[in-house]
């Protein structure tokens, strides 16, 4: 049920703060969705973290809510509010603020049993991942090819660190 609540919160946040010119953000919204889908495929048999049904009728529902609502809408809000002025310090604060929101939501999800960790993953890894993810979302928004290349390299690094191999993929 936590996944449903978070989806509703991201819908409300998008209505409140997202730029109505959504087409401008569309490629990066898809990038965030593809990244989430890629995790689900690569780590299907060897999850690092797993969404649990936690009261929902099917295990796939929280995953779909995250992929179809949570990631694209949070990305849209994040990019819409990204500071264009104020220099790198304002940008760093923005990245850290969204990272803090994601970590808080994940912490609550873990405590409620909506997310479980596996194979060496923990909240500290999520913190590092989220910082990198928000940086990559901005890079992809500005320079899509650079964002794709850097994200692919980071994915390979994580696969190596956590021993995610081809035989563990779906």
Q: Is residue 93 over pLDDT 90?
A: yes
pLDDT-based confidence at 170, cuts 50/70/90?
low
The domain in which residue 150 lies consists of 2-11+29-168
pLDDT-based confidence at 139, cuts 50/70/90?
very high
Segment 153-169 shows an average pLDDT of: 91
Residue-wise pLDDT for 32-77, tens only, equals 999 999 999 999 999 999 999 888 888 889 999 999 999 999 999 9
- The confidence score (pLDDT) of residue 130 equals 98
Q: Which two three-digit tokens encode residue 80?
A: 């819409």
Whether residue 24 lies inside any domain: the answer is: no
- The confidence score (pLDDT) of residue 91 equals 97
Whether residue 156 lies inside any domain: the answer is: yes
- The confidence score (pLDDT) of residue 54 equals 82
Please provide the average confidence, as pLDDT, over all residues in the chain: 95
Residue 117 near residue 110, CB atoms below 8 Å? yes
Whether residue 45 lies inside any domain: the answer is: yes
Which residues have a Cβ under 8 Å from the Cβ of 38 and sit 6 or more positions away? 155
Q: Which two three-digit tokens encode residue 64?
A: 């779909």
Give me the number of domains the chain comprises: 1
- The confidence score (pLDDT) of residue 85 equals 82
Q: Is residue 140 over pLDDT 80?
A: yes
- CA geometry: angle 147, 27, 13, nearest 5 deg: 105
pLDDT-based confidence at 169, cuts 50/70/90?
confident
Whether residue 16 lies inside any domain: the answer is: no
Whether residue 21 lies inside any domain: the answer is: no
CA trace torsion 108, 112, 113, 115 (10° rounding)? -20
Whether residue 22 lies inside any domain: the answer is: no
Segment 25-31 shows an average pLDDT of: 98
- The confidence score (pLDDT) of residue 98 equals 98
- The confidence score (pLDDT) of residue 59 equals 84
């Amino acid at each position: 049920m936590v996944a449903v609540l978070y989806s509703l919160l991201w819908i409300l946040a998008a209505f409140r703060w997202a730029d109505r010119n959504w087409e401008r953000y569309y490629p990066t919204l898809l990038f965030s969705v593809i990244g989430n889908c890629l995790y689900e495929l690569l780590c299907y048999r060897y999850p690092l973290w797993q969404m649990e049904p936690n009261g929902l009728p099917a295990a796939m529902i929280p995953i779909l809510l995250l992929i179809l609502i949570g990631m694209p809408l949070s990305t849209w809000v994040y990019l819409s509010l990204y500071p264009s002025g104020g220099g790198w310090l304002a940008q760093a604060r923005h990245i850290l603020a969204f990272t803090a929101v994601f970590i808080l939501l994940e912490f609550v999800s873990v405590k409620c049993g909506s997310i479980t960790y596996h194979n060496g993953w923990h909240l500290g890894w999520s913190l590092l991942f989220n910082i990198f993810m928000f940086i990559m979302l901005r890079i992809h928004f500005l320079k899509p090819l650079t964002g794709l290349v850097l994200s692919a390299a980071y994915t390979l690094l994580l696969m190596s660190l956590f021993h995610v191999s081809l035989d563990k993929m779906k």
